[in-house]
Homo-oligomer: A and B are copies of this chain.
Amino acid sequence: MASRSGHANERTDDVVAQIKRLLTASNQRLTRVRGSVIEALRGAGRPIRVDEILAVTPGLSQSSLYRNLAVFEAAGVVVRIQSADGRARFELSEELAGHHHHLICTRCGAIDDVALPDDIEQRLDGVLADVAAKSGFSMEHHRLDVVGLCRHCR
């Protein structure tokens, strides 16, 4: 539970409604199959792999999953994370789940979510936009990972 995104209990319907809106804006339907993929992602609360989604979604074909994840990504519903082991991980976009970062375990590869205080984020964004601009680069957003050992591996 513990829906992320800051607010203690963001209602399920809100998120689903927003997803529907995002899909509609991309001329895509929210079918039953797609709904089950969304549920798998919401239930995880961290970036998960294709095989993990398949494991909790009986009857879902791998190709449909990949195709739907691509649709979701294009619509801004999910974000794809290329992890070190070559298998991509997916999670709901920050627009839906709130801005956050990742704790990445170097031993087992697990990834979990974590958030920073708002004031830190703001100062960081200021510095980054500034440094980027000096390289002729216009920043859209940042991505920050903490690399180390998870609770189980240390």
User: Which residues on A are within 8 Å of B, measured CB to CB?
Assistant: 80, 82-84, 86, 103, 105-106, 112, 114-117, 120, 124, 127-128, 131-132, 135-151, 154
Contact = CB atoms under 8 A, between A and B. Distances in A.
Contact of A103 (B80, B116, B132): B132
10 contacts: A103-B132, A103-B137, A132-B146, A136-B151, A137-B148, A137-B151, A138-B149, A140-B148, A141-B148, A142-B146
B116 A131 contact: yes
Contact of A112 (B117, B124, B135, B146): B135
B137 A127 contact: no
B80 A82 contact: no
- Of residues A114, A128, A151, which shows the largest number of chain B Cβ atoms within 10 Å of its Cβ? A128
Given A135-B151, A137-B103, A144 B142 contact: yes
A139 B143 contact: no
Contacts of A80: 84
A94 to B, nearest CB: 11
A124 to B, nearest CB: 7
Nearest to A104: B143
